[in-house]
Amino acid sequence: MLNIKVVGSGCPNCQKLEALCSEVVSEKGFEANIEKVTDVNDFAELGVFITPGLIVNDNVLSQGKIPTKSTLEHWLMDNIK
């Protein structure tokens, strides 16, 4: 199961990243928990210093950008337990 955290204050890019994660998880049939982290106080603790941030299974995979759909698919497939 994938534990996905989308880290950001809720800006349009953060919303796009969350929607992209949901889309890929749904299309690929991955078993995943997608969590939004919006508390600014938690960002640095999680290792995210530029939003939007993407954390999968406690690994920071991106900061400050939205990955392409194909890149996100590969990252999620690589992190399936």
Overall number of domains in the chain: 1
User: Domain containing 56: what range?
Assistant: 2-78
- Please tell me the pTM assigned to this model: 0.94
pLDDT in tens, 50-74: 999 999 999 999 999 999 999 999 9
> DSSP string of 18-73?
HHHHHHHHHHHT--EEEEEE--HHHHHHHT--SSSEEEETTEEEEESS---HHHHH
CATH number at residue 58: 3.40.30.10
In order of 13, 14, 45, the CA distances from 9 in angstroms are 10, 7, 15
pLDDT of residue 81: 64
pLDDT in tens, 17-57: 999 999 999 999 999 999 999 999 999 999 999 999 999 99
- Which residues are part of the catalytic machinery? 11, 14
